[in-house]
Structure 1
């Protein structure tokens, strides 16, 4: 990290951050990055826990995942904005894998300052994104020069560009190496080994749930299992398996009519390839 970046990111040192995220893999990644930036992080495992922690403590920054059980991230954001000062004035940033225009509009309507898209793979980029989206508060406090406030830390992605393909993804390249190596460099080798072990365990459990959901034609089980898989794969750039999980998730939620058994079979095969890769990198 060069001196110019370090001086800009120094504002984050000592800041108390609430991270609301239900996926342990994403918790590990975000916490490692925030620790490296010098922030103090508390983690809420779902939306309901986040609301309890917000009532008990005052935070400088809120990082809120949108898809969470019990209480959604959008409802958490709305609750913050409907509260009395100073809580309602604190910067609130959505951290989400869903960054299409329709999602951005809902996030903006809820009252967030903007969003940071997953996966999170760079300490410096993560820090700059947070600085960009907290500029309103920092400028009011005299901590940042006046500039146009960014509503999002990433360009909008058209729906056609992110639509899940119907063809089976190739199994020879389980991850995008730029994402994978960027994450490894950001969090360090020891944390990366821990992360890969956790991802391997999560994938094993999720694939078993997919098999059970397909066998029982249980769309709720399939929806939950693929939600975990999408989040886990996104963290390390495992796009082939993530794409398959997105397709099956769409089926489970009534947004597509593909054969769940066929996609489930592809998921099992691609998961085997990915897990073998992860185990080789964790040694």
Structure 2
């Protein structure tokens, strides 16, 4: 079985070696970098499935590398980017996410934290909902609508990353997703969106973490939709 290729960047050698050992135990093939310039060079030269970046790398911060990859045509423009950070300030966490980071792992890194972030399976679509779409609308229309849903997830994730008022944006995005996600059978995403939209507990202090949760679930849902498209329409 092919192992997932992961780039890990951390300037602390003890931390780098510990995280590398944990990731290899989880089955990842790990390439390491010890500064921002080295990490960016590797990310511009080779394709990775996941890139994990310490935020305070010498040379270039992890968020600077993320912003460059998102804004330029590189082998990792759409790769999953994860920040390893000790930042607890909500504004700093929001800034990191806005650079194009998909998820945050708080220091100190542990095996449990890595598993929780990296090994969440794609949020499966409800089979009956997909079957109803195909039955009611036909394969061509269902395929087109599922691709539109993928684009919506990307657009809404971008809105969260770029939001000036993150609390308001979480409510706006979750309001849209609680309905559209259910239409396509993304029940887990619909449930999270409904909870966030109806909750008054989203505040400036926890908004970056709630946005990260929503972005991560949008990403895993996208993977599930892509899997459904491949399996349902592979002979079209």
Normalized against structure 2, the TM-score is what? 0.50
| 2:36 maps to 1:47 | yes
What is the alpha-carbon root mean square deviation over aligned residues?
Answer: 3.3
- Is 2:196 aligned against 1:148? no
* Distance across 1 between alignment mates of 2:85 and 2:203: 13
For residues 29 and 108 of structure 2, what CA distance do their matches in structure 1 show? 21
Alpha-carbon separation, structure 1, partners of 2:37 and 2:203: 29
Paired residue secondary structure (2:88): coil
* Matched residue, 1:37: 26
Partners of 2:43 and 2:75 within 8 A in 1:
no
The one of 74, 99, 121 aligned to 2:88: 99
TM-aligned CA deviation for residue 79 of structure 1: 1.0
Mapping of 1:261-272 within 5 angstroms? none
SS at match of 2:87: coil
Query: CA offset at residue 157 of structure 1?
Result: 10
Matched, 1:87 2:76: yes
Measured after TM superposition, the shift of residue 14 of structure 1 is 0.8
Measure, in 1, the Cα distance between the counterparts of 2:189 and 2:8. Answer: 26
Q: Deviations over 1:105-150 (max 9, x none)?
A: 11111010120101112x2431121235x959xxx7xxxx943399
Question: Aligned ranges for residues 1-283 of structure 1 at < 5 Å?
Answer: 14-84=3-73, 87-121=76-110, 123-132=111-120, 146=186, 147-148=188-189
1:49 & 1:120 partners in 2: Cα distance?
A: 22
TM-score, normalization by structure 1: 0.42
Going from structure 1 to structure 2, the CA distance change for 1:76 and 1:128 (only over 3 Å counts) comes to: same
Distance 1:29 1:84, change over 3 A: same
Q: Deviations over 1:61-99 (max 9, x none)?
A: 010111011111111010111123752111001011113
2:215 is aligned to: none
In structure 1, runs of 5+ residues without a counterpart are: 1-9, 160-283
Instruction: Give the Cα separation in 2 of the matches to 1:110 and 1:55.
Output: 17
Separation (CA, whole Å) in 2 of partners of 1:27 and 1:157: 32
Does the aligned pair in 2 maintain the 1:99–1:157 contact within 8 Å?
Answer: no
